[in-house]
Amino acid sequence: MFLIARRMLLLLLFAMVCGACNLPDQNGTKESEISVAETVGAVVTQTVKAQEQDIQNQTAVAATVMAQLKQLTSAITETGTATAQIAQQNTLVLSATPTSTSTETPIPPPCNWAGFVNDITYPDNSQVGIGESFVKTWRFSNKGTCTWTSQYQLVFDHGERMSAPDSVNMTNSSVITGDSVDISVNLQAPLSAGSYQAFFRFKAPDGSLFGIGNQANSSFWAIIDAVDTEVSVPEPAAAGADLIVQSSAANPSSFMVGNSTTISVVVKNNGDAEAGDFKVSWFSGEATLSPKCSWDVAGLGAAEATAPLSCNYTYPKSGQYNSNIVVDSNTQVSESDEGNNEKSLQIKVLMKFFLTPIKITPIKPLKPMITLSP
């Protein structure tokens, strides 16, 4: 635009020069000069105004372009934000979309597969005496598709054998899928103290081995701690007499006060030596330290018993009595066991009730207070 204005100015100057060439000479009139000057001024003024109008137009166009650029930038920013939001929402939607269900056919369980349930005897690290025989028992479930029969065997696999047989039958019947069976094997702890572990598996009728675990081929085990259980044998007790109360009774054991009861006692020598003379005493359970009945026994042979020893006694008061029988009460006999010479006997004495006769006087009939005349 400025280049066009510049060219117009050059063209105007060229016209002025040409016009000057056509002007009268210096002898011309003053009016002609003035006319030419006015013409040139008018042309210049119009040209300047045109340039000013052109600048204003260009400024307005630039402002309009800047406003449009600002609106476009804002629209682009908003569009980018919305696009990001839409992308994020699409990501969330894609994340929330459930994965497709696999349509692969499940692999069926193998024919022979055992599941360990628990140890029935000798759980892991049980203590067993060195050289001691024991029976290890496990419980297994049939997780395979084939039924276990008597042709299936438990076989030693590896480790410390502990005198295990090469094989034993798993069952004497049939174990279908899902059922459980207890399987045992005879073992013997080694002769040296320590930890020992024997591993086993199962053998199918076709000779193939199987076991436990996800692959149905893992072995199971018996693990023990062999310990030295040598215990000193106690010396036998020295031979001697042993007096005991073999039997005792109170007849009756419950009665009215004032009545008597019969106490009977049988003493036996439970030892393996003869007992010399001794005394048997019966304490009534009353507040007294002296016995109410006593018997002198002239010795007893080994395993010999006395005839019944008896006496009668009358309690003066009612109550519940814990009577006591003591053998060898004067400690004359040396016994192998001095802690079994006493025995208690319960007796109940009831209170006596007296009934006083009551005289009943008949009541005379009352005389009528009013006499009615006919």
Cα separation, 193 vs 129, in Å, equals 8
Which residue carries 């060439």 as its tokens?
21
> In 3-state terms, what secondary structure has residue 16?
helix
Rounded to an integer, the average pLDDT of 313-329 is 92
% of residues, the chain, pLDDT over 90:
51
Mean pLDDT computed over every residue of the chain = 79
CA distance readout (Å), 26 to 17, 21, 29, 264 = 16, 12, 8, 190
Name which residue leads in pLDDT, 228 or 42.
228
Rounded to an integer, the average pLDDT of 17-43 is 48
Residues in Cβ contact with 350 at an 8 Å cutoff, skipping those fewer than 6 apart: 254, 255, 256, 257, 318
pLDDT at 293 over 90: yes
**Out of 43-47, 216-220, 223-227, least confident range:** 43-47
3-state DSSP assignment of residue 53: helix
Residues 260-274, mean pLDDT to the nearest whole number:
92
Taking residues 252-267, report their average pLDDT: 92
Compute the distance between CA of residue 18 and CA of residue 344 in angstroms, rounded to an integer. 167
- Decide if pLDDT at 154 tops 50: yes
Q: Tokens 């507040």 belong to which residue?
A: 287
For 101-105, 134-138, 176-180, which range has the lowest pLDDT when averaged over its residues?
A: 101-105
| pLDDT at site 128 | 95
What tens digit of pLDDT does each residue of 226-251 get?
999 775 545 555 568 999 999 999 99
What architecture (CATH level 2) is domain 243-350? Sandwich (2.60)
pTM strictly above 0.85? no
Give the SS3 label for residue 54: helix
Burial class of residue 40 in the structure, from the number of CB atoms within 10 Å of its CB (0-12 exposed, 13-18 middle, 19+ buried):
middle
- Contacts for 159 with CB less than 8 Å, ≥ 6 apart: 197, 198, 199, 221
Structure token pair of residue 89? 């929402």
Angle between the 30-96 and 2-22 helix axes, to the nearest 10 degrees?
170
- pLDDT value, residue 108: 86
Structure tokens at 22: 């056509």
pLDDT for 352: 79
Please answer whether residues 255 and 272 qualify as being in contact, where contact means their C-beta atoms are separated by less than 8 angstroms: no
d(CA 234, CA 143): 52
> Which of 47-51, 197-201, 261-265 is predicted with the least confidence, judged by mean pLDDT?
47-51
How confident is residue 13, by pLDDT bands cut at 50, 70 and 90?
A: low
pLDDT at residue 61 greater than cutoff 70: no
Q: So what's the pLDDT on residue 24?
A: 46
- 326: β partners: 281, 342
Tell me which of 188 and 339 has the higher pLDDT: 188
Annotated domain spans of the chain? 2-19+36-90, 114-227, 243-350
Residue 26 has pLDDT above 50, yes or no: no
Is CATH 2.30.30.100 the right assignment for the domain spanning 114-227?
A: no
